[in-house]
């Protein structure tokens, strides 16, 4: 191999690493920051959806866990990380 071939291969490898960073790592970090922000905003009485798809209302929280009351009246303790999103209120339909 000549020096110019090694340079080309080096540039290609660096380019592939850069593409992987911008297509995989960076968006994942952004999504993780948004999820942490969501977890910081949750308060008692909020309607939430867990990662398992269960809908309920926040009863109690501490630093790592959250108690959720479901329609049946059952209260179950989850890790905070199990919260997928806040449940949005249904929008009024146009009349």
**pLDDT tens digits for 29-83?**
999 999 999 999 999 999 999 999 999 999 999 989 999 999 999 999 999 999 9
Q: Which pLDDT score, from 0 to 100, does residue 95 have?
A: 41
- Give the DSSP H/E element, type plus range, for residue 86: strand 83-86
- Is the model's pTM score more than 0.75? no
Q: How far is 61 from 68, CA to CA, in rounded Å?
A: 9
Cα angle 41, 78, 32 (rounded to 5 degrees) comes to 50
Q: Which pLDDT score, from 0 to 100, does residue 2 have?
A: 79
- Per-residue pLDDT at 91 exceeds 90: no
Alpha carbon 28 to chain centroid distance? 9
């Amino acid at each position: 191999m000549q020096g110019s071939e090694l340079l080309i291969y080096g540039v290609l490898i660096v380019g592939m690493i850069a593409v992987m960073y911008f297509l995989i790592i960076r968006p994942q970090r952004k999504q993780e920051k948004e999820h942490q922000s969501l977890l910081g905003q949750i308060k008692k009485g909020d309607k939430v959806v867990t990662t398992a798809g269960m809908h309920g209302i926040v009863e109690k929280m501490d630093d790592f866990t959250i108690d959720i009351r479901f329609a049946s009246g059952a209260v179950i303790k989850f890790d905070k990380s199990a919260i997928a999103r806040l449940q949005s209120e249904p929008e009024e339909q146009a009349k």
